[in-house]
Chains A and B, each alone.
Chain A
Amino acid sequence: MSRHGVIALIPEDCTSCMLCVRECPAWCITLESHTEQVDKADARRPRTINVLDQFTIDYGLCMYCGICIEVCPFDALEWRGDVDYSTVSRVDLDQGMDILAAWG
């Protein structure tokens, strides 16, 4: 088990279900998504899936409770250890999807 350093995102596993955003007691997660239709040859109707556009954790607000990791039904969030994410300005603590996915 890795150290409880930061919370990282695995974007491929995220279904944009909003559970983590709604359970977060610090209101530090924002998620943007849109729907797309996928056409499968053998499907009778076209399926609609949610596509993740942006996922942000504001580390100026996060209290590292890990509730988002607990509630995620698809394990798209996980603890990662040993990441130096200190910044010189408050706004840079708002970490976007590309940063959250690259941590490791």
Chain B
Amino acid sequence: MQVTPEVVMPADWRASAEAMHGWRLDLLTAIDRRESIDVIAHYIRGAEHAWRMTCVPYDGALASISDLHPAAAWSERETSEMFGVRIGEGVPLLRHDHDTRPPMRKVTPLPARVETPWPGAAEPGDDGRQGANPSRRRTRPPGVQPEWEL
């Protein structure tokens, strides 16, 4: 199975999808890389797997491939609205509160992660009574970004 995605320029995204004619689009999603949004697509043909990836700037746009691969329609909408990149000419459907930040961006705080006390904050052997270990460096909970300012 090919795990390394073939990276294409955003302008060539449609051409790369066109070249995958006869393949089935299995997955289209994105990753916030803190510099750009990486949009990835996974195609299947029989037992073959193929990955295509492109880096879209935060304020960038990507052409839709849903006319070539109809399975992309919903995934494009989801990726576009959740990550805040424009894909095609879609009318927003999932998020109406455009004053808030896209939920899947790393800079967007997850309220539950800010409000819930992290169970890992306790030190080994620290039960709040006598003999507790002195608190050493502060560890950051997994999934909590530095800019959320706990």
Give me the interface of A with B, judged by CB distance under 8 Å.
Answer: 15-18, 21-25, 27, 29-37, 48, 50-51, 53
Contacts and interface: CB of A to CB of B under 8 A. Distances in A.
A37 B126 CA distance: 14
Interface string B114-140: 001011101111110101110000010
Nearest to B119: A30
B73 to A, nearest CB: 28
A25 B144 CA distance: 10
A64 B127 CA distance: 28
B125 A50 contact: yes
A18 B142 contact: no
A12 B118 CA distance: 25
Interface of B: 116, 118-120, 122-127, 129, 131-133, 139, 141-143
A31 B119 contact: yes
Contacts of B123: 18
Give 4 closest A-B pairs by Cβ, nearest first: A22-B120, A35-B125, A34-B127, A50-B125
A27 B126 CA distance: 19
A16 B123 CA distance: 9
A61 to B, nearest CB: 10
Contact of B125 (A21, A27, A29, A34): A34
Nearest to B113: A27
Contact of B142 (A25, A33, A36, A37): A25
Contacts of B133: 35
Given A31-B119, A48-B131, A24 B125 contact: no
A17 B132 CA distance: 13
Contacts of A33: 124-127
Contacts of A48: 125, 131
B65 to A, nearest CB: 31
A98 B27 CA distance: 43
Most A Cβ at <10 Å: residue of B116, B118, B126: B126
A23 B124 contact: no
A34 B142 contact: no
Contact of A22 (B127, B129, B139): B139
A21 B133 CA distance: 17
Given A18-B120, A31-B122, A23 B142 contact: yes
